[in-house]
Each structure stands twice: as C-alpha cells, then as structure tokens.
Structure 1
Amino acid sequence: MRLKLQRNHPLDKDAEAIEDTSEILNTRSEEEDEDLVTPATGLPLDLILIQNISRVIYNKIGKTGGRSLLAIAEHISARNNFQRISSDYHRRSLNLDQEARFVSKVMSIPAPFLYDRHVKFVDFSKYDVAEPPGYINLIRDPLERKLSAYYYNHRSLNGSASFEECVIRVLEECRPGKLSLIPYFCGQSEMCSEGHLALETAKRNVVEKYIFVGLLEHFERSLRIWQHLMPQFFLSAPDVYHKHFKSEAIRRAASSYRRDTPEAVKEIMRSRMRLDYEFYDFVKKRMALIEAQLKLASKKRGKKKRSTT
C-alpha cells in the first residue's frame, strides 16, 4: 500500500514552520559527529517500509493520553483490519527470562496487530526474530504529567502533602528521576534508570526503533501524522477522534483533581527534570521534521500531477 499524500495536506493546518527543511532532512553538517543522535537522524523516513509494518507495539506510559489513543484504535480496528490486543500483565521492568517470554508471546500473535502494554522498551532485534514489531508512543510535558499523576494518586489529600510541599521538602515522589519518561524508551538495562547515557540511548531508540512518538499537547496533529505514516492502522483516526472522543477527553481534562501550583515551585521541579525535558524537546523537534517531510512529499506529488496534465 502506498502512502497517498495530496495537496492541501491536513498537516498544513498547524504544522510548525521550519526553515530550510529540505537541507535538514537530506544533509548532515560537515562538523556533525556521525555518532551524534539529533532530531533529524534517520530522516527522511522510508514511507513505503512503514506502510508494510504489520506488527506494532505501543508501550504506553501512564498519564500521557493513552486512554484516548487506545479508544480510537479500538474503534477503527475492524474497519482497518487489525487486532488491538491489550496486555493484562503490567510489569514494566523485565529480567532476561521475562523479556524472552514477552518477545515470544508478542511474535506468536497473528499479524496485523497493535499490542499495548505498560512496559519499558524491549529490543526485539536481540532475539533474531523475523519482521520485529515497530514501536509507537505518546508522551506529555514532563511537569504536566507529574502534576497529573501526583494529584490522581493523592485525590483526597487527606494526610498527604500538597505538590508544593512535596517539591519543597524533596519527598520521594518529587525527587530527580522519579516518574521519568526516559526508561520507557531506553530499555530494560539498569543503566536506563537515570543519567545522560540513558537519555542518549532513549533518543537513539526513538530514531531507530520507533515509527513515530506523538505529543499529548498536540494530540490531533499526532493523529494526523500516524494516519499518513500508517494508514494500515490509523486511517480515519482524526475523524473518529472528533466525532466520538474529543468531547470526552476535554471533559476528563477539565475534571482533573489538580490544584494550582506556584510558578516558582514548578520551576524547581522542572530543573529536577531537565533530562526529561531534553528528551521531550528532542521528540517535539522530530515531530515537526516528520510533519515537514510529509508536507514536502505532498508538494512534490502535486507538482508531478500538474506536470502530467
């Protein structure tokens, strides 16, 4: 199945402007270290290769919008002819035996499928499997995710510290490295729990193992990208979201348990999450570049059509 991109591409609606995109996507600077991973590494994406992926893992992360994404996937699975399978096993960290069993279980599922589970990244290529799954994920501004998780876990606050107290007193939930996004993309190794090596490994996995990582803050844009990268799974996902799930997502966000937090406290917490923010910004920049690639492909297709008429 070939990716069909048209003029007046839906991604044109709110894609971020990037100057000299063709240079970013097709060249490397002379000074660039070949081992350095940047948001442009591995771009442009091989759209035809992605079109042929039939096994997808969504190693979902709590408090990042996974409920909405999976509801959409469930709704469109029959019309797009794939299985949506949700694991009832929630161990995020796996030892070698558990990892091998996980790989065996996933590979035993008849394709095409979208499999979701709360689990840190598992590298299927270590197991010499034919046609290993591609990964997708959805992340969120690190502080917003932490606030959401904190107030959800302390809904009553009876006997619990406020988030402000948690930060000022450096309680367990508000220490550096807690509730980090990075281990989900770095993997199962002990070194993935924290530090710059974990961050760089997570970035490399994003460019080498993940088809696309979306952002909750730009959920509709993310759906449009998934639709155009992977129509075999996400065709009609944006329309389905608008018709059936957007109002409920807005309602849930409005009825959250969160309280106001002073900006000074937020800044303290952001400084403790600087590696997570570096990762988040990396994914955000890559998202804009992938949007730009799709827009360029659309323009080229439009020019080709005009030249043949």
Structure 2
Amino acid sequence: MEERGFPELEINETLQNQDRKQDGVDKPTCDDIKSPNDRFVIFNVLPKSGSRTLYSLALNVGKRHGVDVQNTMALTNETKSEKIGRLLEDHSAATFVYSHLHYVDFNSTEKNVVYISIVRDPIERLVSLYYYKRYGDSTEPGLFREKMDRLNLSRDTFDECVKRNGDCINSNLLEKTISHFCGIDSDKSSATGKYCATEAKRNVRNKYLVVGVMEDYDGFIKVLERLLPDVFQGATDFYNTFKTQHYFQVMKTKNKLALRRESLVSLGNAWQRNMSFMNM
C-alpha cells in the first residue's frame, strides 16, 4: 500500500491547561480523574486498530495496580452498552473496559468516566478487517476458520472487491471511523452525513482524554502511561518486551495483500473525508 500522511498524536488541549470549555461542555482533565477509585476507563475502539494489544497491556499491567479489567466481546444476554452500564453502576475500584461499541455517553451518571481510543488509517484498517474476516490470524486458527466458513464470505481479494464495487466499499464501512465517534450505529443513513462528522469531532474534543493513532503506537502508550499511571504505569517497558514475543506476532492478520494503485485511487475521496476528521 502506498505511503500516506498520518495525523500527529494529539492530546486533548485541555491537558495543556487551556480553556476547559468548548461548546459549553466541560472536558476531562487529569485533575478530574486523579482518584484511582473513581476511575472508569472506557476504551472503545474499532476492530483492527491495535485494540487487542492495549487490552493485553491492561490485563498485564493494569491488574498489577488493582484495576478491574473487563471486555464486552463474548456477550449473550445483554448488549455491549448494557454491560458497560452495569459495570459502571457496580464498580467500586478502578475499572478498564475494552469494547468495540461506538461512542455512548455514560456521563449521565455520577461516576467519573474516562474515554480513550485509537484510530488507524481508514483504508488500511478496512483492508485488514476484510482479510481478517476471511483468514483470521494465528491465535485460534481452527476455531476461527469454522466460524468464518459459516459466514460464506467471498474469497475475492480486496482489489477484486473494489473493482466490482462490492460490499467491501459501501458507505457505512468507509465512514466507520466517523460514525464510531459520532455515536450513531453505522448501518443508519445518518451515520454518513455532515451532522455525524460534526458530532464526531465534538465528542473527541469534549469527551475523550486521548485518541491515539496506531501508526504511532509507542507514542500512544507513553501518553497513556503519563496521563493514567494508576492503570498504565510500566506499560512502555511491558510493550517493548511484548513486541518481541510470539503472541504479538500471531495476532497479525493472515494473507493480507497490499492494495493496487487503482484501488487507492477509487477510494481516494473516502480516505480524504476520514483524514479530514482525523486531522481536525
């Protein structure tokens, strides 16, 4: 895939002691979340954005600090938002929740909710997700293969899917980054409009302590360790070791192919819209 420009890792400007008010809403600051017992960290992130790596860090580093680490992956009788709401209501210690749920405002409670996330080049993420759904990774290849075979997905390459204008490039998928932060389910038509783009930017500015970029994962970990030491103290050292281990390698998507130039050109407008949001 051709090299493209990425936004610099940005921390909410409130962390630099600037005006806390924007659009009439108080933004989170380090002072707001300094008590570990009050901290309820929601890491809501799109798939294929390095989320399992951060979850692994939270499990290994956060638990050393007494953090209750949860996820919303294998749900049966409740939705993701219901589980997060229940955990929020019941929590009495510092909590870290990993979820692929889009933004939902849980700040209506008296609890101190902290949102963090990470984004990835939108086309790179889409390609990785496309091949992951078909070939998975090497963590549980047999189990994953059975699950994917039941979905009966096309084995076309992503380039072939783009060429035939297939479902891999429908507007809901292409605008997924924006709809995720907007807080609207991406299968709704309003998820791709100007309102959603504006709302997504407002939510990131007002609600998120930090949104990192996957292309600077090391920087993201360092920022988290500085801003949330009660959860991530020691994360940088652990991550540097983790990157050399077998599990880190087997989490990578199998059989992912680089895009041809003509596919990149076809997806150029969607990429620009997403990058406009990411470079806000």
Corresponding letter in the other structure for 2:90: S
| Aligned Cα root-mean-square deviation (Å) | 3.6
Q: Does 1:66 align with 2:51?
A: yes
Whether contact under 8 Å (1:191, 1:197) holds in the other structure is no
Determine the structure 2 residue equivalent to 1:142: 122
Corresponding letter in the other structure for 1:107: E
Mapped partners of 1:103, 1:137: distance in 2: 18
Mapped partners of 1:223, 1:87: distance in 2: 22
Structure 2 gap segments, 5+ residues each: 1-7, 136-144, 146-151
CA distance change for structure 1 residues 77 and 25 in 2, over 3 Å: closer, same or farther? closer
Which piece of structure 1 moves more, 230-239 or 267-276?
267-276
1:215 Cα shift?
A: 1.3
Query: Partner of 2:279: helix, strand, or coil?
Result: helix
Mapped partners of 1:72, 1:83: distance in 2: 13
Determine the structure 2 residue equivalent to 1:54: 39
Q: Does 1:186 align with 2:186?
A: no
Q: Deviations over 1:255-289 (max 9, x none)?
A: 6321132123113213234332222223xxxxxxx
Mapped partners of 2:71, 2:251: distance in 1: 24
Q: Does 1:116 align with 2:98?
A: yes
Paired residues, what number?
A: 247
Determine the structure 1 residue equivalent to 2:4: none
1:250-261 matches, within 5 Å, as 251-252=249-250, 256-261=254-259
Q: TM-score, normalised by structure 2?
A: 0.75
1:9-24 matches, within 5 Å, as none
1:238 Cα shift?
A: 0.7
Query: Partner of 1:123: helix, strand, or coil?
Result: coil
Q: Does 1:216 align with 2:214?
A: yes
Mapped partners of 2:250, 2:264: distance in 1: 23
1:247 Cα shift?
A: 4.3
CA distance change for structure 1 residues 263 and 249 in 2, over 3 Å: closer, same or farther? farther
Whether contact under 8 Å (2:81, 2:101) holds in the other structure is no
Mapped partners of 2:83, 2:240: distance in 1: 38
Corresponding letter in the other structure for 1:129: T
Mapped partners of 2:114, 2:153: distance in 1: 43
Determine the structure 1 residue equivalent to 2:111: 131
Determine the structure 2 residue equivalent to 1:167: 162
1:117 Cα shift?
A: 1.9
Higher Cα radius of gyration: 1
Q: Deviations over 1:174-199 (max 9, x none)?
A: 12231511222111465652122111
Determine the structure 1 residue equivalent to 2:138: none
Corresponding letter in the other structure for 2:172: G
Mapped partners of 1:208, 1:145: distance in 2: 25
Whether contact under 8 Å (2:132, 2:253) holds in the other structure is no
Q: Deviations over 1:213-257 (max 9, x none)?
A: 111111010000001111111111111111234444763477632
